[in-house]
Amino acid sequence: MEYIENPKEYYPPMHSVEHILNGTMDKIFKCGRAFSAHIEKKKSKCDYHFDRNLTPEEILMLEEKVNAVIKADMPIYEEFMPREKAAKIFNLSRLPDSAGDVLRIIKIGDYDACPCSGSHVHSTKEIGGIFKIISTSCENNILRIRFKLTDNK
């Protein structure tokens, strides 16, 4: 399996899931993308500006929506865009100036798009697992979602 490679080396399937989770969180809760993330092969976490913990029903809904995108076999691809144009579409506050004047945008079908320098699979189906939220917590208006990929069983 070949991945969309780049210098920022996360485990590509989990990194692609992080993008899907971020897009889903913003679509459902209008909270923006995670402002902090730690992506690992075994488990990962994302932190969002949010004023409460998620309910069990919301956790289940998130899992279902993320897994539906994974199963949809959406293409994951890169496009390049001038920074000036990207600034009108995306929040670039986390990007360093060293990212340059032309930014790499990772797109997941028509579901999600965001500037990124990390490695990804080429299709959501290549993620090869089921997204599962391990736990959530909320302290000082920061919602932390811990998640993993399980076997396809």
* One pLDDT digit (tens) per residue for the chain, 153 residues: 333 444 456 799 999 999 999 999 999 999 999 999 999 999 999 999 999 999 999 999 999 999 999 999 999 999 999 999 999 999 888 887 788 899 999 999 999 999 998 899 999 999 999 999 999 999 999 999 999 999 865
Q: What is the pLDDT of residue 23?
A: 97
Rounded distance between C-alpha atoms, residue 145 and residue 152, angstroms? 21
Show the domains of the chain with their CATH numbers.
12-150 (3.30.980.10)
pLDDT attached to residue 6:
43
Side chain identity at residue 27, one-letter code: K
- Helix and strand numbers (H, E) in the chain are 3, 7
- Residue 70's alpha-carbon distances to 13, 21, 75, 134, in angstroms, are 10, 11, 10, 18
Judged by DSSP in three states, 72 sits in: coil
How far apart (Å, rounded) are the C-alpha atoms in residues 101 and 92? 12
Report d(CA 108, CA 120) in Å as an integer.
10
> Is the entire prediction scored with pTM above 0.85?
yes
Sign of the dihedral through C-alpha 121, 125, 128, 133: positive
HSE-up of residue 117 (Cα within 13 Å, Cβ side): 12
Contact 38, 11 (CB under 8 A): no
